[in-house]
Amino acid sequence: MSLLFCNKYKPKTTKDIIGNNYSVFELCRLLRDFNKCKRKCILVTGTHGSGKSCCVEVVLNKLKYASKVLNITKFKQQNRKTEKSKKSKNAVSTDARM
């Protein structure tokens, strides 16, 4: 079975990550001291394709954290479906009044 190029060559350790060294270091530091933090959230931002998910995954694996991936696209799709169903119910109910 062949792997996708991006999966075959993705970094497995923090040393494999090229660039963003300071960001990777800061993320490691924040996660090591996470229990001491008052706020229990880390928000990682950046441009599309800059390696945010990859870096987070590698750092979490390094520090033996369990990870759960939440894809915002799925939430947006569910929200759109809910809005569409509400609109269609409203359209039906307004037609029934006439």
Spell out the domain ranges in the chain.
1-67, 69-98
Look at residue 79 in the predicted model and tell me its pLDDT.
Answer: 74
Cβ 40 vs Cβ 34: under 8 Å: yes
**What is the chain's mean pLDDT, rounded?**
80
Distance of CA 34 to the CA centre of its chain: 18
pLDDT digits (tens, 9 = 90+) for 19-60: 888 999 999 998 998 888 887 788 888 888 888 888 999 999
Closest residue by Cα to residue 61 from 14, 15, 21: 14
Instruction: Indicate the range of 35-39, 73-77, 81-85 predicted with least confidence.
Output: 81-85
The CA distance from 5 to 17, in Å, is 16
Give the residue with greater pLDDT, 33 vs 72: 33
